[in-house]
Structure 1
């Protein structure tokens, strides 16, 4: 068991290092595309695509004020965008009621495919 724990620890360390390298490379690639005002670029064997998305970031205090029904808050417990979207789709809460409780965050997703 000691070897399994040791191996797990080593793999987690590698994972952290790989995630850091991926983050740095992602930033450089997105920056490169941004400088060229391009959402898609092709290289020898790879195609790079930047997909822009908007995500809502809720303010817990504002949301709590807008949605005072305790039964709804028990379902939320914390401002989770996917749970809130589900509650809107199920008509537990209305989009109008919570329109001032979030801000829109624009993000860029990087997709790299091999040709």
Structure 2
């Protein structure tokens, strides 16, 4: 049991270091190549595209909902829960107008040719 716990701890520490390094590299690549949309170097190709993500405002969503009991289902403006309510046709997109801000999130993709 102790060996498993020790190995788990080691792997989690390694994961933290890898995630930090990935984040640093991501920031550097975005800073250098975001305007051009990507780059190629040797056997590797970098592409950068943007994904739109909605960030909802709690108070605005609460005020926009037709039934206050719907808010109890969410308890806060959770994008996943709101998407589910939209998909189930419990609410429609029109009532959410002005309750969110669209953010463009850069997505990096590195491929080996």
Match of 1:16 in 2: 16
Hey, what's the Cα distance between the residues in 1 that align with 2:90 and 2:4?
47
Hey, what's the Cα distance between the residues in 2 that align with 1:90 and 1:11?
40
Match of 1:49 in 2: 47
2:49–2:108 CA contact under 8 A, matched in 1? yes
2:33–2:39 CA contact under 8 A, matched in 1? yes
From 79, 82, 97, give the equivalent of 2:80. 82
State how many pairs are aligned: 113
Unaligned residue ranges in structure 1 (runs of 5+): none
> Secondary structure of the residue that 1:96 maps to in structure 2?
helix
**TM-score, structure 1 as length reference:** 0.88
Match of 2:33 in 1: 33
Match of 1:97 in 2: 95
Match of 1:4 in 2: 4
Runs of 4+ in 1 over 3 A off after TM superposition: none
Unaligned residue ranges in structure 2 (runs of 5+): none
Match of 1:111 in 2: 109
> Secondary structure of the residue that 1:97 maps to in structure 2?
helix
Match of 2:61 in 1: 63
Q: CA RMSD in A?
A: 1.5
Hey, what's the Cα distance between the residues in 1 that align with 2:7 and 2:43?
34
**TM-score, structure 2 as length reference:** 0.90
